[in-house]
């Protein structure tokens, strides 16, 4: 199935569009902190799953949309068994008791906050960190972005200084090491990209 409007650019197709430039910047920032077995939560079309394959021992990308997983699987043979994909939502996946070395949790948490509420989202963030032996790479939507989508996630986000409330969010989830790796532009606003670990 061909996606009508991809969320991420095709990792294997060269492009100079702005969306790809933003993804390339994020990938360059996170690669030095990726190692071991990696889970990419909300992998979309697999850009970051494929992008960290060289740094990882194995990568599992999960996404709840079948169309995203179908797209990923068309390309995964380029990495043989090193990069695999599975249709699952984050909550379902976390019930399995797996552990991993690196978690990619990029542009997902605000959607969970919007759909499931702050309490459920906080529990999910805690569980991801709890099961990550190394680094969790993280970003989250901001109130001042140009908003689209049906779940109105921006309405539940805290106001004030984004760096302050993101640090508070990660600290409340049990992170003991928190580092802002940089910023990238998304929907006409700046998002921080973070590394967190317990």
Q: What is the pLDDT of residues 150-178, one digit of tens each?
A: 567 778 888 889 999 999 999 999 999 99
Q: What is the CATH number of the domain that holds 121?
A: 3.40.50.150
Classify residue 28: in a domain, yes or no.
yes
The three-state secondary structure class of 73 is helix
* Residue 26 CB neighbours (<10 A): 25
The domain in which residue 47 lies consists of: 18-197
Classify residue 10: in a domain, yes or no.
no
Q: In total, how many domains does the chain have?
A: 1
Classify residue 70: in a domain, yes or no.
yes
Classify residue 121: in a domain, yes or no.
yes
Q: Which residues pair with 99 in a beta bridge?
A: none
Classify residue 148: in a domain, yes or no.
yes
Query: What does the pLDDT look like over 126-146, one tens digit per residue?
Result: 999 999 999 999 999 888 776
Query: What does the pLDDT look like over 113-122, one tens digit per residue?
Result: 988 889 999 9
With 0.95 as the threshold, say if the pTM is over it.
Answer: no
The three-state secondary structure class of 138 is strand
User: How far is residue 146's CA from residue 154's CA, in Å, rounded to a whole number?
Assistant: 10
Give alpha helix (H) positions in the chain. 18-30, 47-51, 66-75, 90-94, 109-116, 118-130, 162-172
Classify residue 178: in a domain, yes or no.
yes
Query: What does the pLDDT look like over 11-68, one tens digit per residue?
Result: 887 777 777 788 899 999 999 999 999 999 999 999 999 999 999 999 999 999 999 9
CA 15 to chain centre: 22
Classify residue 8: in a domain, yes or no.
no
């Amino acid at each position: 199935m061909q996606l009508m409007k991809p969320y991420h650019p095709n990792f294997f197709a060269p492009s100079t569009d702005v969306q790809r430039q933003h993804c390339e910047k994020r990938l360059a920032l996170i690669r030095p902190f990726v190692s071991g077995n990696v889970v990419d939560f909300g992998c979309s079309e697999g850009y970051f799953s494929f992008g960290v394959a060289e740094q990882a021992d194995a990568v599992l990308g999960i996404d709840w949309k079948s169309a995203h997983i179908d797209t990923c699987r068309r390309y995964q043979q380029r990495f043989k068994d090193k990069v695999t994909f599975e249709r699952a939502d984050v909550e379902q996946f976390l019930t399995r008791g797996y552990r991993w070395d690196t978690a990619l949790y990029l542009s997902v948490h605000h959607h969970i906050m919007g759909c499931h509420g702050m309490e459920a989202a906080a529990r999910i963030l805690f569980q991801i960190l709890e099961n990550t032996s190394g680094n969790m790479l993280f970003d989250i939507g901001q109130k001042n972005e140009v908003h689209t989508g049906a779940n109105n996630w921006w309405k539940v986000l805290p106001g004030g200084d984004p760096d302050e409330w993101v640090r508070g969010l990660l600290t409340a989830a049990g992170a003991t090491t928190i580092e802002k790796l940089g910023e990238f532009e998304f929907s006409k606003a700046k998002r921080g990209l973070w590394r967190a670990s317990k």
